[in-house]
């Protein structure tokens, strides 16, 4: 009886974990209707329609492998000061709450870029937060990929 209860609890926990991972994408969906915010959503369905063969624009960068593993891409940006600050605060809140790891932080003159990641066996999310003057852009890559897939993209 005890074993059955423990098994059922484990199943519930696994379900909740899966639901939490999807909740990361949903946390940003509220910006689809927000004022002074540009929201772009590209689903796996649309990516597959487009065909996975990427046309490289940067030398030595191959995005085909990672693109094939993406479930969706969300691009949120704002040039309005208050909306941009709110977007930045929300993103940092989510990153702190869900204990994302900091992959990279680049700070140059007027531009600051933070790249966060949360990758486990079933699901991966990479969030790139860019701040330039008063403009804030957040790009969320969500899918079934590993950190190696992300690093392999770049020039060696």
Partner 1 sequence: MDELNLKDLERIPIPEGLEKRLSEKIDEWEQAEKKPHFFSFNKPLRHVSVAASIALVLGLGYILLQQKVSINLAEQDTYRDPAIAKREAERALNLLASNLNRGMEQMKKAKDISDKTEHTLNKQLKSWK
* Interacting residues with partner 1 (CB under 8 A): 1, 4, 8, 11, 15, 22, 29, 32, 39-43, 45-47, 49-51, 54-55, 57-58, 61, 63, 66-67, 70, 72-73, 75, 104-106, 113, 115, 126, 128, 130, 139, 141, 150-151, 153-155
CB closer to partner 1, 111 vs 120:
111
- Tokens 């609890």 locate to 9
CB of 59 to partner 1, least distance (A): 10
CB of 61 to partner 1, least distance (A): 4
CB closer to partner 1, 63 vs 92:
63
């Amino acid at each position: 009886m005890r074993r059955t209860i423990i098994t059922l609890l484990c199943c519930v926990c696994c379900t909740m974990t899966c639901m939490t991972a999807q909740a990361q994408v949903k946390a940003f969906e509220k910006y689809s209707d927000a004022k002074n915010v540009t929201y772009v959503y590209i689903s796996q369905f649309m990516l597959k329609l487009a065909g996975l063969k990427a046309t490289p624009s940067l030398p030595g960068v191959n995005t085909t492998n990672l693109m094939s593993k993406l479930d969706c891409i969300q691009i949120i940006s704002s040039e309005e000061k208050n909306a941009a600050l709110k977007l930045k605060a929300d993103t940092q809140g989510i990153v702190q709450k869900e204990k994302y790891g900091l992959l990279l932080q680049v700070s140059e003159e007027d531009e600051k870029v933070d790249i966060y990641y949360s990758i486990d066996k079933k699901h991966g999310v990479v969030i790139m937060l860019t701040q330039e003057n008063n403009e804030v852009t957040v790009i969320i890559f969500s899918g079934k990929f590993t950190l190696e897939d992300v690093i392999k993209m770049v020039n060696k």
